[in-house]
């Protein structure tokens, strides 16, 4: 599933063709994705101007001039792909309609944004913009890890006394928004903390080192366009490249990248998810 860097990369790719532009026509080709789509969704989107394209955790938020916000979740295989836009001297023609093109936005200026989702684990909904933070998909999500609400004092306080492994604690969306399996594995490796260690038993000093590490890993991933492992593509159809920089994720049995370390990367399953780590470098 796309994590924060992938969703942020898609959002940034959509801004030039959607933000400030009118949706001249919206085609809604099925009544549901993971859940039923909003009533009269095509009518409520057609003719509306996108005032702002934002992100909350793993959700893309399109604020409309109607006073509503379109909430988009990519799910496991969802893609929002742009066609018909001019980039420099090149023009990307519209492709033929594909089987899993479920929602299509025809934008003023000729661009088309297509939501394609083969597995239909994605989701879309409309809600009043003033109540977006109260929407059931978003309410209760913790602070953004790249925002001011996430700092050393906050993380230390939230982890204090917790008996769950640090890996599970960092994946808890109620504590931190948008972190997923890939970037938690990479951040824990850089911080030298084992994913198996109980969150409440990590020293305050070591917990505080996690905040800048998490921020750095996310920033580097966004700069690289995210990580493409299976279905993920950027809005222009290109792959992300951060997977080429993985230190531990997906590298079971491979050598540790730390100079002088002779250990191999191990994999364990925690709460149904694979954790990758170096048993020597992470304690």
User: Catalytic residues, which ones?
Assistant: 2-3, 58, 273
- Which residues fall within 8 angstroms of residue 123, CB to CB, at 6 or more apart? 33, 34, 35, 71, 72, 73, 75, 137
Q: For the chain, percent helix, then strand, then coil, each to nearest 5? A: 30, 25, 50
Q: Which two tokens stand for residue 12?
A: 């940034």
Pair 21, 49: CB distance under 8 Å = yes
Give the orientation angle of helix 181-191 with respect to helix 204-223, to 10 degrees.
130
CA distance 157 to 159: 6
Q: Are 109 and 22 in contact (CB under 8 A)?
A: no
């Amino acid at each position: 599933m796309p994590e924060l860097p992938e969703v942020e990369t898609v959002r940034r790719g959509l801004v030039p063709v959607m933000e400030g532009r009118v949706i001249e026509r919206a085609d809604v080709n099925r009544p549901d994705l993971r859940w039923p789509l909003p009533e009269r969704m095509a009518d409520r989107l057609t003719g509306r101007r996108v005032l702002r394209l934002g992100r909350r955790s793993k959700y893309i938020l399109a604020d409309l001039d109607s006073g509503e916000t379109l909430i988009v979740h990519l799910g496991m295989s969802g893609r929002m792909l742009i066609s018909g836009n001019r980039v420099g001297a090149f023009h990307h023609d519209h492709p033929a309609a594909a089987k899993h093109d479920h929602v299509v936005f025809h934008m003023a200026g000729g661009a088309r944004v297509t939501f394609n989702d083969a597995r239909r684990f994605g989701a879309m909904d409309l809600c009043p913009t003033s109540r977006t933070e109260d929407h059931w998909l978003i309410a209760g999500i913790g602070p953004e890890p790249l925002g001011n609400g996430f700092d050393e004092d906050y993380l230390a306080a939230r982890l204090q006394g917790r008996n769950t492994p640090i890996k599970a604690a960092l994946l808890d969306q109620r504590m931190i928004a948008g972190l997923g399996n890939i970037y938690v594995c990479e951040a824990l490796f850089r911080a030298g903390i084992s994913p198996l260690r109980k969150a409440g038993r990590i020293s305050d000093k070591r917990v505080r080192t996690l905040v800048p590490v998490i921020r750095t890993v996310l920033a580097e991933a966004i700069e690289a366009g995210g990580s493409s492992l299976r279905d993920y593509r950027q809005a222009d159809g290109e792959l992300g490249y951060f997977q080429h920089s993985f230190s531990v994720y997906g590298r079971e049995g491979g050598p540790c990248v730390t100079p002088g370390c002779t250990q191999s990367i191990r994999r364990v399953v925690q709460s149904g998810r694979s954790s990758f780590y170096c048993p020597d470098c992470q304690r």
